[in-house]
Amino acid sequence: MEKICVFCEIFDKLLLKETVYSRVIINYCPLGKFALLVTPKRHVSLITDLKKEELIDLVLLYQETIMTINEKFEIPPIFGWFNQGQEAGQTIDHFHFHIALYEKNGNLKLPERIGEKTPISEDLLINIKKIFAQ
């Protein structure tokens, strides 16, 4: 049986914005307060698998997403990164940039991938969708 890719199959509920080649989705089980993922529509594993036009579209959407966050959330600390391959900690085999936000007074160290990851609340999900729909 082929493994389901959550970014290809289950993105509807979490979709914030899309362009020709890319999507911004909410990380359903974030490590921080909330986290977003910017991902190509085409299923590829690595950044090196992307075509030039896909990569340009993706990076522009990444920048735009950070600008939206800056505008709406009073410039919170933002962490952005990607994991290139399983050995680098990539858990979903569909390339994605991470955007994680932390409380201004919180611990700015990235949390380790241990312990409980809790799904974001429905209220927060609705609020974030509203912000990106403006």
| Catalytic site positions | 96
- Indicate the residue among 7 and 102 with the shorter CB distance to Zn ion: 7
23's enclosing H/E stretch is strand 22-26
21 binds Zn ion (CB under 5 A): no
| Interacting residues with Zn ion between 50 and 89 (CB under 5 A) | none
Q: Which two tokens stand for residue 30?
A: 């974030």
Smallest separation (angstroms) from Zn ion to the CB of 7: 4
11 binds Zn ion (CB under 5 A): no
10 binds Zn ion (CB under 5 A): no
Smallest separation (angstroms) from Zn ion to the CB of 17: 18
92 binds Zn ion (CB under 5 A): no
43 binds Zn ion (CB under 5 A): yes
8 binds Zn ion (CB under 5 A): yes
Question: Which of 94, 98, 99, 100 forms a contact with Zn ion (CB under 5 A)?
Answer: 94
Beta bridge partner(s), residue 51:
none
Distances (CA, A) of 61 to 66, 67, 68, 113, 115: 9, 10, 10, 26, 31
One-letter amino acid at 79 equals F
Q: If you ran DSSP here, which 8-state letter would residue 28 be given? A: S
41 binds Zn ion (CB under 5 A): no
8's enclosing H/E stretch is helix 6-9
State the number of binding residues for Zn ion (CB under 5 A).
5
Closest CA to 113 of 25, 29, 36: 29
Positions touching Zn ion (CB under 5 A) are 5, 7-8, 43, 94
